[in-house]
Amino acid sequence: MQSGVAARIDYSHPAQIELHEGQMDIGGGAGELVFERVKVQLRTRLGAEVFNSWFGRMKLAEASRGIVRLSVPTAFLRSWINNHYIKTIDELWKAEEPSTLKVEVIVRSATRSTSAAAPAETTKEPRRSTKSTGSAATAAKSSAPANSSAPLPRNAAPVEIEARGSSVGSPLDHRYTFESFVEGPSNRVAFAAAKAVAETAPNAVRFNPLYIHSSVGLGKTHLLQAIAAEAIRNRPGSRVVYLTAEYFMWRFASAIRDNSALALKEHLRDIDLLIIDDMQFLQGKSIQHEFCHLINMLLDSAKQVVVAADRPAADLESLEPRVRSRLTGGVSLEMAAPDFSMRLSMLRGRLLAAQAEDPTIEISDEILNHIAHAVPGSGREVEGAFNQVLFRRSFEPQLDIERIDEMLAHIFRSGEPKRVRIEEIQRIVARHYNVSKTELLSNRRTRTIVKPRQVAMYLSKVLTPRSLPEIGRRFGGRDHTTVLHAVRKIEDLSTSDTKLAQEIEFLRRLINEAQ
Ligand SMILES: Nc1ncnc2c1ncn2[C@@H]1O[C@H](COP(=O)(O)OP(=O)(O)OP(=O)(O)O)[C@@H](O)[C@H]1O
C-alpha cells in the first residue's frame, strides 16, 4: 500500500479510452494509487469484516476522462455495492481526485484480460427465479424482506416468515410435496433419499449431508421443499429451515453490517434440519466461512443437512475448498430429465390441480399424451407447455392436436423457446454487461462495448430466424459482414473460453425465460 503519495489520474490520453481487442484501460499507476487510498479509507470506516465481504474482490478496471470503473466478479456484489456504498466511494474518490466525474461499478466479465482483474471467477448473475409465478417459493426468491431496512439486492431473496419455529427460513410453496412429485427412473434414488430424510426421526440421520444436483427445472426445489414440508409434519417441535443460498448470504451480510452476526449465529445453532437450495450462488469469503462453520456444527452434532445445486459439489468452483469438501463428504445424487411417462404423469397432475380450482376444465388424455411427446425437456418446460394450453383453451375451447402442435412449435424448438425478439436480446445483454442499449448500437469501439455487442449479435443469430443483413440493420445499420464476423468470433472464443461459454449459456437462459 502506497498511501501518502499524491496521485493524479491522467484523463487526457485518448488511447486510454478507445480500446482494442485484448487491451485494458487501467488509468495507469496513478489510478491504482487513488484506488488503494480509497480502499484504506473504506476499510477504516467500515471495519475489516464488512470491507472484506464487499470490497475484497473489487478491482480498478478503468480510470479515464473523469470516469472511474471498479469491477467486481458478480452482479450480486455490484448490486449490493450500488445500493449501499456507491455514494461513499464516489465521495472518497472525488476527495482524492477532484476532476473525477463519476465512479461506477461493473461486473468483471466486461473487463476481461486486465492485469488488475481477478483470475477467472464465475460471473454468473444470481439467477432470476423461474419458479411458477404466484407461489410462495417465488416470493421467497424475489421479494424484499419485510422486517429489514436494508434494501435487498435484486433477485437476492425473500420475505422472511416463520416456518414452524424458525425465523430464518424462506416460505414454502404448498404445492411442492412428495405427493405431487413425479417419481421415475431419472430421479428415483434422489426421491427415496429425500423421503428417508424427511421421515427419519431427529438425531437419527442417515445421509449427511444429502446433496442433490441436476440441471435446471428438474425438480430440485420441489423435492427440497417437499422434504421441509414432510419433516415439519413428522417432527413436531423440531426446527426445520429451508432457505436459498442467496438468502443465506443476504442474512449474513445484513447481520455483519448491523453488528448482529453473533445473534444470528446463535439463532442458527439449534436447527434440526437445514435445507439449502441453489448452493451454486453462495459467494464471498467471509460468508462461506460462516456457512462452513454452520454446517460443520450441524453435521458434528448429527443434525441433518440437505443441499441442492445445479452441478456436483466438486464442480462448484466458486466455493472454498473446505466447503466443497464438507459437501462431498455425504451422499451425492443426481437427477436427470424426465422420460415420456413421467412427463405425462406431470401433465396429469397439473390437470388435476387445475380442475380442483375449476372443475369445468377439460383436456383430453390424447392431448396430454401429445404434449408429453412434443415437449422433451424438463419439468419446467412441461409445466410451461401445460400453462400455455390451459391459457389458450380459455378462449379457444376446441383446441385440436394440430392447433396445439402449431402453438408448441412457436414455443419450443429443441427445448428452447422460439419467438425471441432482437430488442429483448439487446436489452438483456446490455443490462448484463452494464452498458446502455444506445452504446450497444453505437459505433464506439471500446472493449467494454465491443464484447457485449458481439455477444448480442451472436445470440440474435442463434436464437432468432433473422438473416445477417436484418440483424445488421437492427444493430445500428451495420453491414452483414460485421455481423458474420461477430458470430464467428464469439463461436470461436466460446469453444476455448469456458467462462465466456458459461456467460452465453446464462444469457440464453435469461432470454428464454423472459419470453
Ligand atoms: N419430478 C417432478 N414432478 C413434478 N413436478 C416437477 C418434477 N420436476 C420438476 N417439476 C416441476 O417443474 C417446475 C420446475 O421445478 P424446480 O423449480 O423444482 O426445478 P429446479 O431443479 O429447482 O430448477 P432450478 O435449477 O432452475 O432451480 C416446478 O413447477 C416443479 O414442480
The model's pLDDT over 335-357, given as tens digits with 9 standing for 90+, comes to: 999 999 999 999 999 999 989 88
**Who contacts 481 (Cβ-Cβ below 8 Å, separation ≥6)?**
none
Q: Which of 222, 306, 316 for mutating ligand 1's site (highest number of atoms within 8 Å of CB)? A: 222
Distance (Å, whole) CA 171 – CA 135 = 10
213 CA distance to ligand 1 centroid (A)?
A: 12
Q: Which of 225, 342, 380 for mutating ligand 1's site (highest number of atoms within 8 Å of CB)? A: 380
Q: Which band of pLDDT confidence, cut at 50, 70 and 90, is reported for residue 7?
A: very low
Q: Which of 117-121, 131-135, 159-163 has the lowest mean pLDDT?
A: 117-121
What are the sequence ranges of the domains in the chain?
Answer: 14-111, 136-334, 340-411, 422-514
Does the pLDDT at position 283 exceed 60?
Answer: yes
Domains 14-111 and 422-514 share a fold: no
Average pLDDT value for the chain: 76
Distance (Å, whole) CA 186 – CA 218 = 10
Q: Kindly report the protein residue whose alpha carbon is nearest to atom 24 of ligand 1.
A: 216
**What is the Rg, in whole angstroms, of the alpha carbon atoms belonging to the chain?**
25
- pTM, two decimals, is 0.56
Q: Which of 221, 339, 508 for mutating ligand 1's site (highest number of atoms within 8 Å of CB)? A: 221
Does the pLDDT at position 315 exceed 90?
Answer: no
Q: Which band of pLDDT confidence, cut at 50, 70 and 90, is reported for residue 394?
A: confident
Q: Average pLDDT for residues 1-14, to the nearest whole number?
A: 30
Atom of ligand 1 nearest to the CA of 215: 25
pLDDT of the residue at 168: 61
Does the pLDDT at position 510 exceed 60?
Answer: yes
Does the pLDDT at position 154 exceed 60?
Answer: no
Q: Which band of pLDDT confidence, cut at 50, 70 and 90, is reported for residue 46?
A: confident
pLDDT of the residue at 140: 31
CATH 3.40.50.300 for domain 422-514, yes or no, is no
Q: What is the pLDDT of residues 429-476, one digit of tens each?
A: 999 999 998 889 888 889 899 999 999 999 998 887 777 888 888 888
Q: What is the ipTM of this complex?
A: 0.99
Q: Average pLDDT for residues 360-378, to the nearest whole number?
A: 89
pLDDT of the residue at 190: 95
pLDDT of the residue at 405: 82
Nearest Cα residue to 153 out of 164, 162, 161, 145: 145
pLDDT higher at 155 or 287: 287
| Residue 185 neighbours by CB distance under 10 Å | 11
* 39 assigned to a ligand binding site: no
Superfamily designation of domain 136-334: P-loop containing nucleotide triphosphate hydrolases (3.40.50.300)
Does the pLDDT at position 375 exceed 50?
Answer: yes
For Cα atoms 439, 443, 447, give the angle at the middle one, nearest 5 degrees. 70
* 56 assigned to a ligand binding site: no
Q: Kindly report the protein residue whose alpha carbon is nearest to atom 15 of ligand 1.
A: 219
* 220 assigned to a ligand binding site: yes
pLDDT of the residue at 381: 85
CATH 3.30.300.180 for domain 14-111, yes or no, is yes
Residue 190 contacts residue 333 (beta carbons within 8 Å):
yes
194 CA distance to ligand 1 centroid (A)?
A: 15
Atom of ligand 1 nearest to the CA of 132: 29
Atom of ligand 1 nearest to the CA of 222: 18
* 217 assigned to a ligand binding site: yes
What is the percent of the chain where pLDDT is above 70? 78
3-state secondary structure string across 440-460:
HHCCCCCHHHHHHHHHHHHHH
Protein residues whose CB sits closer than 6 Å to any atom of ligand 1: 130-132, 180-182, 187, 214, 216-222, 278, 310, 338, 346, 379-380, 383
382 CA distance to ligand 1 centroid (A)?
A: 10
Does the pLDDT at position 255 exceed 60?
Answer: yes
Q: Kindly report the protein residue whose alpha carbon is nearest to atom 13 of ligand 1.
A: 380
Q: Which of 26-30, 49-53, 143-147 has the lowest mean pLDDT?
A: 143-147
Atom of ligand 1 nearest to the CA of 382: 12
Q: Kindly report the protein residue whose alpha carbon is nearest to atom 25 of ligand 1.
A: 216
Atom of ligand 1 nearest to the CA of 346: 4
